Structure 1
Amino acid sequence: MAIFPAPSLLIIILLALSITATPFEVRDSLITLPIARRLNVSDGPISLLQHDKVRVAAIKDCRHLGSPPVTNVAVNYIAKVGVGSPATIYNLIVDTGSSNTWVGAGTAYVKTSTSINTGQPVEIDYGFGIFSGTEYTDTVTLGSGLTIAKQSIGVASNSEGFTAGVDGVLGIGPVDLTVGSLIDGPNTAIPTVVDNLYSQGTISQEVVSVLFEPTTSKTNTNGELTFGGTDFFKYTGDIGYTPITTTNPESTYWGINESITYGSTMILSNTAGIVDTSTTYIFVATDAYTKYKAETGATVDLLTGLLLVFFRPNTYTLTPNAQIWPRSLNTYIGGSSNAIYLIVTDIGTASGSVSDFVNGYTFLERFYSVYDTTNSRVGFAKTSYTDATTN
């Protein structure tokens, strides 16, 4: 196999972390749900960057309602979730950047004896897509037959931007993100799946952990959600926790403060941003992106909009390829098959404005991440894939 020289591309993420032993290994109350990554290539090359940009714009604008430009969901992580009794299985996007759960984008909602129509209209803008319909309560099934009674779910009468095979969204963000989604109750929060698992005594901690694994496949079951704690078999060492930022609007998301360096060069000083499973790339403020571009020597590729690293005669140490889009998937994003594309890109505004970074799933594929409502914090730990050379 040919080995192509390329610059060392490791970004060192410096978080204000409090390293502690993992306190949420409550083995008798964990719920595990496999999740699968899907790359939508049915309509030819996809524009992941366009998808991400409208997503990030919605986050930065704190937009929940309206009619934005809609881009088909290009890549996502899917969980199979049952709704009703007997349950109909729906393929739902796992989203830490929103908190409503809803169905009906693809597979139609099937009413059963547990379905209760609240009569309340609901509408959500995700940036990459929109959904409107009616709020119901119903039995929701996760994993091996574990159920949530009277879970609030949206039932779509209209949805745009969601591709075939996607039936809706499983929102695992903070509950505050549901405020504004009920049209007749704009100040009302809707209990999330995690809220109800905790309040109904199914889990003992209001915690969700996420494991992604790097993959070069278009479709691959390479992830796992754990409700109620952490699975110590899935990570190495300790989990480092950082509190939810106090900066708005990032504080309503899984928002944290972090700084970024490239080697000895400070790319982004300590600032607020979010962690988001439904964003593909790593976005940084424009001034940080400009520094990163200069340090890597990369140029903007006209085909994909991503930074392109040219082959050089020098020999470089390539630490785990974590900032490179999988080369076997280059053609699916409209790129050249033998090019090296970086997954760090421009958020479009200078630092000091709203949300100076977004750590998308290409970041999360290298770490175990923990979303802890009980203690208002986010945690990260290394996994066997942190230093993997997948790419």
Structure 2
Amino acid sequence: MASTVAGSKVALPFARRVSQAGSTNLVDFDQARAQFMRDNAQGKYAGVSSATEAASMVNAPATARVVSYTTEVQIGNPPSNYSLLIDTGSSNTWAGANLTNPFVFSGTTELTSNAVCVSYGSGFFGGDEVMDQITLAPGLTIAEQGIGASIWSEGFGGVDGILGIGPQDLTCSCIPTVVDNAYKQGLLEAYEIGISFTPSTTPSEMNGELTFGGVDERKYKGTLTYVDITSTSPASHYVGIEQSVMYGDTEILGPTSGIVDTGTTLLLLATDAFNAYQNMTGATMDDSSGLLQIDEEQYGALQSLYFNIGGTVYELTRDAQLWPRSLNKYIGGTEDGYYLVVSDNGAVSGSGLDFINGMTWLERFYTVYDVGNSRVGFATTNHTHSGNNSRTI
């Protein structure tokens, strides 16, 4: 068994990569994921036992993933390197999606008798469950981790699989997550993950960091404020919270439940709240990108969104509501266009999952998923009020 310093905090850097828009745009992908999360919590995917069945449950053909948030890990000994998507919305860790970088069995790989088949709404994978060691970062090697060795997959072009860091019972309750095992093996100082992600105007940048076993006080300002995981289903099955949303002085989404999610790019609001937002901003739907579009004058009049979470208000500025203009071509937009990152959740309020605060929201606030205490913490950062998205270069 590999060793590490007991009770430590370990940083794991991750990158955002933006690729040219293909057949599936940002909105299609995120909405398919939102629908999957609602269906999954209601048991639609329970008992999936084959890759064929998992494939039949894909809601959108996400063969061209526009935005990926990935980290590099090593599996096995001798180790093989894999680029995995960071996902608080799932619990399984698996690799081998990329045909040019298949899962490699090593001297520490133990094949179990279990098959693993998981649908994600926008993709799927099927393969064998193995027990192996996984190194997330120097000083954090987890032994006897259940890992999926992919044989079939769809919707994961350009990446090798998923690092699932969400609640254990999300996708397969029989397999503890890497966070669960790391803590149980005495490798972490605390049963929590700190998530730091900063705005970027370039297509590929190492601009994020996960802190396993604690928080990094250098990454945020002021005090972390915590709220309990919501008890309202289906949000309660994920990293779910309660919040209300105001556009300027007008409430567009009353107190309700939803989730924070590293696997979603946009900020998704319940359909009625989204419609109110569109009407108040004067935005029109752009068919090419699937996003709301405004002109320069409307951008100048754009008001902040205010999120009340547990009595603390977090401001999403007008710049934070804007897709980085320097990256417009990657979403099929025009070079000088103004595109908003607020989109439709795909269901009216009252569904139990009325919003998803995706990475365009998380890049403005430091976030802590306190697994051990079933709560989530937030704080502002030096980037909460930064204003680079409106620049074209």
Out of 108, 114, 117, the residue aligned to residue 120 of structure 1 is: 114
1:191 paired with 2:183, answer no
Aligned residue for 1:256?
241
Aligned residue for 1:309?
294
Aligned residue for 1:96?
88
Aligned residue for 2:72?
80
Q: CA–CA distance in 2 between the matches of 1:54 and 1:361?
A: 16
1:59 paired with 2:37, answer yes
Instruction: Give ranges in structure 1 of 5+ residues lacking alignment.
Output: 1-25, 180-187
Aligned residue for 2:343?
345
Deviation at 1:316, TM superposition (A): 4.4
Aligned residue for 1:175?
168
Which SS does the other structure have where 1:241 is aligned?
Answer: strand
1:331 paired with 2:329, answer yes
Which SS does the other structure have where 1:170 is aligned?
Answer: strand
Q: CA–CA distance in 2 between the matches of 1:171 and 1:255?
A: 16
Q: In the superposition, relative to structure 1, how do residues 366 and 313 fare at CA in structure 2: closer, same or farther (>3 Å)?
A: closer
Deviation at 1:340, TM superposition (A): 0.6
Aligned residue for 1:11?
none
Which SS does the other structure have where 2:186 is aligned?
Answer: coil
Deviation at 1:38, TM superposition (A): 0.9
Deviation at 1:189, TM superposition (A): 2.6
Deviation at 1:320, TM superposition (A): 5.4
Aligned residue for 1:144?
138
**1:46·1:334 contact (CA, 8 Å) conserved in 2?**
no
Aligned residue for 2:283?
298
Which SS does the other structure have where 1:29 is aligned?
Answer: coil
Deviation at 1:123, TM superposition (A): 0.8
TM-score normalised per structure 1: 0.87
Q: CA–CA distance in 2 between the matches of 1:215 and 1:57?
A: 28
Q: CA–CA distance in 1 between the matches of 2:240 and 2:273?
A: 19
Deviation at 1:87, TM superposition (A): 1.0
Which SS does the other structure have where 1:59 is aligned?
Answer: helix
Aligned residue for 2:273?
288
Deviation at 1:317, TM superposition (A): 7.6
Deviation at 1:204, TM superposition (A): 2.7
Deviation at 1:146, TM superposition (A): 2.1
**2:246·2:252 contact (CA, 8 Å) conserved in 1?**
yes
Aligned length: 356
CA-to-aligned-CA distance 1:326-381 (integer Å, 9 cap, x gap): 00111111111111111111112211114111111000011111101111001111
**2:299·2:318 contact (CA, 8 Å) conserved in 1?**
no
Deviation at 1:205, TM superposition (A): 1.6
Letter aligned with residue 310 of structure 1: D
**2:24·2:62 contact (CA, 8 Å) conserved in 1?**
no
Q: CA–CA distance in 2 between the matches of 1:345 and 1:235?
A: 27
CA-to-aligned-CA distance 1:256-287 (integer Å, 9 cap, x gap): 11100111101100111111111111111111
CA-to-aligned-CA distance 1:13-44 (integer Å, 9 cap, x gap): xxxxxxxxxxxxx9961011110111122x75
CA-to-aligned-CA distance 1:90-126 (integer Å, 9 cap, x gap): 0000001101000101111111121001120001111
Letter aligned with residue 195 of structure 2: V
Q: Which has the higher contact order (CA 8 A, sep 6+)?
A: 1
**1:45·1:333 contact (CA, 8 Å) conserved in 2?**
no
1:111 paired with 2:112, answer no
Aligned residue for 2:311?
none
Which SS does the other structure have where 1:177 is aligned?
Answer: coil
- The percent identity for this pair of structures is 48
Aligned residue for 1:243?
228
Aligned residue for 1:228?
213
Letter aligned with residue 121 of structure 1: A
**How big is the alpha-carbon RMSD for the aligned residues of Structure 1 and Structure 2?**
1.9
Letter aligned with residue 265 of structure 2: T
Q: In the superposition, relative to structure 1, how do residues 132 and 313 fare at CA in structure 2: closer, same or farther (>3 Å)?
A: closer
